[in-house]
Structure 1
Amino acid sequence: MADLDYSKLHPDTLAVRAGTERTHFGEHSDAMFLTSSFVVGSAEEAMLKFTGQVPGFIYSRFTNPTVSAFEERLAAMEGAERAVATASGMSAIMSLCLAHLRAGDHIVASSVLFGSTMQFFNNYMAKFGVEVTYASPVDLAEWHAAIKPNTKLFFLETPSNPLIDVADIRAIADIAHGAGAILAVDNCFCSPALQQPLKHGADIVVHSATKYIDGQGRVLGGAVVGSNALIEPVYLFLRTAGPTLSPFNAWVLLKGLETLGIRMKAHSENAMQLATWLEAHPKVAKVYYSGLQSHPQHALAERQQSGHGGVVSFDVKGGKDVAWRVIDRVQLMSRTANLGDVRTTISHPATTSHGRLTQEARNRAGIGDGLIRISVGLEHVGDLIADLERGFAD
């Protein structure tokens, strides 16, 4: 693949073919390099590799062929120059922030984010002198108003977790760049199969590869993707601090990428059918899914994404008691807060993924006690509907 122009290939092709690292055995499938270090032929060669004067693998904390293959493949799918893989999605966000921010800097972040992301900003970046201001993902005026002279990073998820808000990446990128800041986009819900934020003006893409990129709930992983200039500081941080993706997990994620495109199409189709059914249900107050015509950013999602993904959230009438009853009664869906799996999962965000947020923060984000989030898997959608009917039954 080294002589091919990745930019001319479809992401589905890149998911299968990009980043292949073959040994002298000529294996067809990607090899797994389970080694902590690599042997050199001489002291001089070791010096040249350690100082970066010649390329090569040294130590699996920061150089490993299997991890490199995953990084190259993911970067190609996002249309980026480079990716750095990390041990989890949260370690990707940590690596991004600690590589690019210092005490006295300021973040403008979406007010609707994964709970752990907000906890990291509020409790840990703040601890080291980095302040954060939150803005509505869909109100550009709030992003403008939040800018300070020390603003260095804009951070958003689109679609957001768990309310599927769709932010205008191009418009927010323009605001960030006008302030001299960079824009990072968490692309977890769409993956590069459905959305490529760099093409819409974002500077960096962050992934929890644990979710759709793996797709079967097997391993943890993350990545930071962007230009060489922006990713090199992240790589240097990872080389020193070591929140590293293991070669085994990288190999599993490589296999996940190979089926990502076809899985995301199937997830989206199932989710659309389930969301349509939920919207007509008398016990549902509101459905959050960008594929629905009723979604306030439906037109934007149609322009920005090639599909709407597999996560559907909805408010039930009756609040927490009814929401918990629905969750407790289902028999097919898995009661877990993970998402992106071939198996459908169901959760109550207010008491799980976003439970550590204050009530005020949940109110600001619109996460009510009656909200249920479903990550729609690849089961037959008729069986999923029947399972929810058990939950809704009087």
Structure 2
Amino acid sequence: MNGANDRKLDAFLLPLLAILIGLTLGAVVMLLGGYDPIAAYQALLNKAFGSMYNFGETIRQITPLILTGLAVAFAFRTGLFNIGAEGQFLVGSLASLYVGIEWTFLPPVAHAAAAVAAGALAGAFWGALVGYAKAKRGVHEVITSIMLNWIALFFVNYMVRTFFLPSGQQRSVPVAESAFLNIPFVTELFNNARLNFGFVIALVAAVFFHYYLFRTKGGFELRAVGFNRHAAQYAGMNVNGGIVRAMAISGAFAGIAGATEVLGVFHYQSVLTVSPGYGFQGIAVAMIGGAAAFGTVLGAVLMGILTFGAAGMQFGAKVPPELVSIIIALIIFFLAASGIIKPLTRWTHTRKARKEAEKA
């Protein structure tokens, strides 16, 4: 029992220690560069929370990170590595753009729901392609998902240029207002920040993630396949089908992220020279969150604050925004190299055991 409790405590302490060490070493780097770390962190927090508008924009930044983080974490939980959340995000944004522009015969709420569902289905299809290649042909999912990222980028650009791009523009025609995820009174409350209903969708997705994996038969089978594929097959589970299903659900999360950006933030799709990066940031979010639903939400909150607050550090404390990338990289490094900080958690366990012994 104590061992199980220690593992649960480690799951909380390791990310927390990695974050604290990353922030501390980031402060050291700032000092070495001649910057004031206290002023820098104050500027970061002021940018993130200094006004209702900034607070709303911070939540807006967090929203797609929750969803792409869930996409990566779900695959991790089922023994797979989804490095293709970026491509799934892009095809999801394209599908929601199409429905948002063309399906104007639907009433407002139904139109928005259909556009989000289209994004989820497109992302699921893109993820299922990776799962199929893994299940039927044995192709490693890291290779196919990375390659599909590039295919998605060029495919989305082609479709936008061909069907949705006005002459001389670099962004598509806007989606119909009936497909917007924005809520007027919320927009007014946050001084016209682009916070939208996508944040609620992201939180619901996190609840679904946990419930499906840990409270349903299908989720148990996916976790069993992830733990030991051969044992799952011996137990009569459909291993290949489970791989495809896991990647499809993973891709659906990322596809919804793309939909929320198109329908709730920009209301159009740009012609992109590079990927927006939310899928790759989702890898860091999933790692910080320990591939757990609640942890992924917290990881997205941290990443959202750091990325949106970077502008505050740059303009308020004259700190280069690259330093934020260094801080994030340090946090991920200590999470990946958890053996470096595990002695600290062992000290915590020893101290806890000593106190329990004294009470006994």
- TM-score, reference length from structure 1: 0.23
- Structure with more of its chain in strand, by fraction: 1
Task: State the structure with bigger RCO (CA 8 A, min sep 6), 1 or 2.
Answer: 2
Normalised by the size of structure 2, how large is the TM-score?
A: 0.25
Greater helix proportion: 2
